[in-house]
Amino acid sequence: MNFSKRDREYSFQGLYERILEDFDANGRDITRCGFQAIAAYRFGVWILGLPRVVRLLLLPFYAVMYLWVRNIYGIEISYRARIGRRFRIAHQGGIVIHPCAQIGDDCLIRHNVTIGATGAGPWTDAPILGNGVEVGCGATILGKIRIGDCARIGPQALVLRNVPAGGMAVSEPARILPPQGTPTPVEVSATSGSYESWQPMRAAPDGQGRT
C-alpha cells in the first residue's frame, strides 16, 4: 500500500481503471450500492487534480453523488480518505469511513462498520488498514492504529489496538442467560409502541366487538 503519489488517481485514465476494477470487485453489478459509493468517492478524488475552474464546475455533481450515497444508502466516505484498489462493500447501511483513514488494496467491509477517530486525541488520528483486510458487520475500528495485511476483524468487534498481519480480532460471543420465571409472549402496542403481555382474543357474543 503506497499513497505517497496520487498523480495516477488524478488522471482520467486512472479514474477509469480504478472504477473498472471496483466494478469487477463488486460483482460487476452497477446497481450495487457499494459500487456506487466507491465510484462517487473515486470521482471526488479525481476532481481534486483538475484545474480550479473545472473543479468548481464539477463539485456540485460530486456533492449530489456524495449526499445520495450518504443519505439514501447510509455510506459515508469522504474524498479525503485514501482507499486502495478493488475496494468492496458487501452490504450497504451504517458505514462511516473517517476522512483521514487509509485503506489498502483488495479490502472488504460489511454493513454497520465504523472506521474513525476515538475523539480523545487529535481529530486526524484515524486507522490505517493494510492490503486484503476483511471487516465484519458491526465492527468498530478507532484511533491511530494499524491493521496489518490480510487481517480479519470479526463482527461487532471493537478494535482500539494494532492488529498484526494475518491476525484476527474478535468480540466476545453473546452470553446466554437462563429464563426468569415463565416465558410470556409479548406484542407491541399499536398506540404507545410499548411492549405488553399478549393475550389471545376471545370470541365475543354476536353484535359485540372483540376484547
Mean per-residue pLDDT for 153-179?
Answer: 93
pLDDT of residue 11: 84
Question: Is there a domain that residue 189 lies in?
Answer: no
Look at 77-86, 120-129, 134-143, 193-202 and tell me which has the smallest mean pLDDT. 193-202
* pLDDT tier for residue 200 given thresholds of 50, 70 and 90: very low
**How far apart (Å, rounded) are the C-alpha atoms in residues 119 and 148?**
23
Is pLDDT at 105 greater than 90 in this prediction? yes
pLDDT of residue 72: 96
User: What Å distances lie between residue 80 and 30, 45, 102, 169, 202, CA to CA?
Assistant: 24, 7, 10, 27, 62
Question: Is there a domain that residue 202 lies in?
Answer: no
pLDDT of residue 210: 47
* pLDDT tier for residue 9 given thresholds of 50, 70 and 90: low
Question: Is there a domain that residue 206 lies in?
Answer: no
Q: Which residues contact 34 (CB under 8 A, 6 or more apart)?
A: 26, 75, 88, 89, 90, 91, 92
Q: By residue range, what is the domain housing residue 132?
A: 7-169
Question: Is there a domain that residue 183 lies in?
Answer: no
Question: Is there a domain that residue 104 lies in?
Answer: yes
Question: Is there a domain that residue 120 lies in?
Answer: yes
Cβ pair 154, 140 in contact under 8 A? no
Is pLDDT at 202 greater than 50 in this prediction? no
Question: Is there a domain that residue 58 lies in?
Answer: yes
Question: Is there a domain that residue 30 lies in?
Answer: yes
What's the start-to-end Cα distance of the chain, in Å? 67
Mean per-residue pLDDT for 110-125?
Answer: 93
Is pLDDT at 205 greater than 90 in this prediction? no
Is pLDDT at 192 greater than 90 in this prediction? no
% the chain with pLDDT above 90: 71
- CATH assignment at residue 73: 2.160.10.10
Tell me how many domains the chain contains.
1
The tens digit of pLDDT for each residue in 43-69 reads 999 998 899 999 999 999 999 999 999
Is pLDDT at 168 greater than 60 in this prediction? yes
Is pLDDT at 7 greater than 90 in this prediction? no
